[in-house]
Structure 1
């Protein structure tokens, strides 16, 4: 069984633009807050026919391995953004002109990382959809012609 646990947050404190400059708006920005992600790589005995077990389990392991890798990549980028956001906040609070100039590049990197996360989630969604349809197609082909008249009639009507 594989368990991935992820949560990270960035704390930010910025001037609210008040006239005396002593007023601070302090808030907690949550980047990710995920519950543990658990996968089971094997199935209970009897869930599948004997001939399908090893091939299906290997396929399932590969699917979960791919998804886990993608989730780790996403978490890595989110962790990097957390660090960058903390640096931006520190630079902002310092009000040192050079540090404020550095924030431009840091914020650009944060935006680029957000694009990476969107792309990774898009790929995950596409991969999940593909795997789902492949699995659904495999199950349908196993049921086709197995004596399940209702299912077979539905298949012959479409043909």
Structure 2
């Protein structure tokens, strides 16, 4: 059995797997919403071309649904961005421990004002 010669490597792998699963789930949700939007746009176009008053009235609700779906996609991408940023910060914190700058002095973690 191989020994893990890199301390904390297992937890980094677990973090990477969790991040990957989060991205995969979110991207699947986004793809499903975009597929639904494609169908909504097709129906909206058909209703518009028909010029039938009931179909045109129905488009109001379909366009609202389309707008809500777009908001959901934006929210999902914002959550993905936040998750990605947090995972990069977590991995860089682990990578920066014990590092040396190019001048040979110990590296210091930068703290951003939030």
CA distance in structure 1 between the aligned counterparts of 2:37 and 2:30, rounded to whole angstroms: 11
- Tell me the CA shift for residue 49 of structure 1: 3.9
Structure 1, gaps ≥5 residues long: 1-47
**Greater helix percent: which structure?**
2
* 2:85 is the counterpart of 1:129: yes
The residue aligned with 1:155 is 108
Aligned twin of 2:35: 79
Question: Which of the two has greater strand per residue?
Answer: 1
Q: How many residues align?
A: 106
Alignment of 1:108-123 (within 5 A): 108-123=64-79
1:56 Cα offset (Å): 2.0
After superposition, what is the alpha-carbon deviation per residue over 1:43-82, rounded to whole angstroms, capped at 9, x for unaligned? xxxxx84444432222211110111111111111111111
Counterpart of 2:44 (choices 88, 110, 126) is 88
Bigger CA radius of gyration = 1
4+ runs deviating over 6 angstroms = none
Quote how far apart the aligned CAs of 1:155 are: 2.7
**Aligned runs of 1:10-159 on 2, under 5 Å?**
49-141=5-97, 143-144=98-99, 150-152=104-106, 154-155=107-108
What residue is the counterpart of 1:29 in the other structure?
none
Q: What's the TM-score once normalised by structure 2's chain length?
A: 0.81
Gaps of 5+ in 2: none
TM-score, with normalisation over the residues of structure 1?
0.59
Name the structure, 1 or 2, with higher relative contact order (CA <8 Å, separation 6+): 2
The CA distance in 1 between the partners of 2:64 and 2:105, in whole Å, is 54
- What do you get for the CA RMSD once the two structures are aligned? 2.5
